[in-house]
Amino acid sequence: MSKILMPIGDATEMMDTLYPFFRLAEEQFEVVVAGPEARLYNGVAHEIPPNPSVPWDITQERPSYHIEAAIAFRDVDPPEYAGLFLSGGRAPEYLRYNRDLLRITRHFVDANQPIAVVCHGIEILAAAGGLEGGRRVTTVAKCELDITQFGGVYVNEPCVVDGNIVSARTWNDYGSPFFHEFITRLRENQPR
């Protein structure tokens, strides 16, 4: 069974994270959750409240489920993994400063291995230099600058594929070809 690495931290968005955790397992991939330390992490739910009497310009954050990281970033050996899944939430805002995570992410970029990224996960890919040279990707609209300031091109579509990178704006786009495209690249990248 091929392994997929999923970096997380406190304030990981749980819809961004739990759906791919189980969806990729359905396709016979082992999803290995990694964090700054191997421990239990606090997830959050992000959504714009549906109550029109109290308008919000940005997503509201509430506590959600927990998820356990089986391995610390410093202990990850990237060549052991077939792909990388970067989920969103506020966690990427601070995870993008973790040198071990940047080393890991850079490995997948340089090795041209499949990378899936949703929502704020783009902040990790950007910080690792994965968007340089005009890579075309999407993200939640409020993170467009995280793409363009790091040499990428923002595309406002549910799913954007640029070589080994498959991106979605938010978990609301999981019904798009996002998982099909990522899983196809994972299978094409398998040793024969």
Rg, the chain, Cα only:
15
Give the pLDDT confidence score for residue 52 in this predicted structure. Answer: 73
Q: How far apart are CA 89 and CA 120, in angstroms?
A: 6
- Cβ contacts of residue 185 below 8 Å, gap of 6+? 83, 114, 164, 166
CATH of 3-188, one of 3.40.50.360, 3.40.50.880, 3.40.350.10, 3.30.413.10: 3.40.50.880
Q: How far apart are CA 108 and CA 102, in angstroms?
A: 10
pLDDT in tens, the chain (192 residues): 799 999 999 999 999 999 999 999 999 999 999 999 999 999 999 877 777 777 777 778 888 999 999 999 999 999 999 999 999 999 999 999 999 999 999 999 999 999 999 999 999 999 999 999 999 999 999 999 999 999 999 999 999 999 999 999 999 999 999 999 999 999 998 765
Q: What is the pTM of this model?
A: 0.95
Give the pLDDT confidence score for residue 96 in this predicted structure. Answer: 98
Give the pLDDT confidence score for residue 56 in this predicted structure. Answer: 75
DSSP per-residue string spanning 64-106: EEEEE-SEEGGG--GGG-SEEEE--BSHHHHHTT-HHHHHHHH
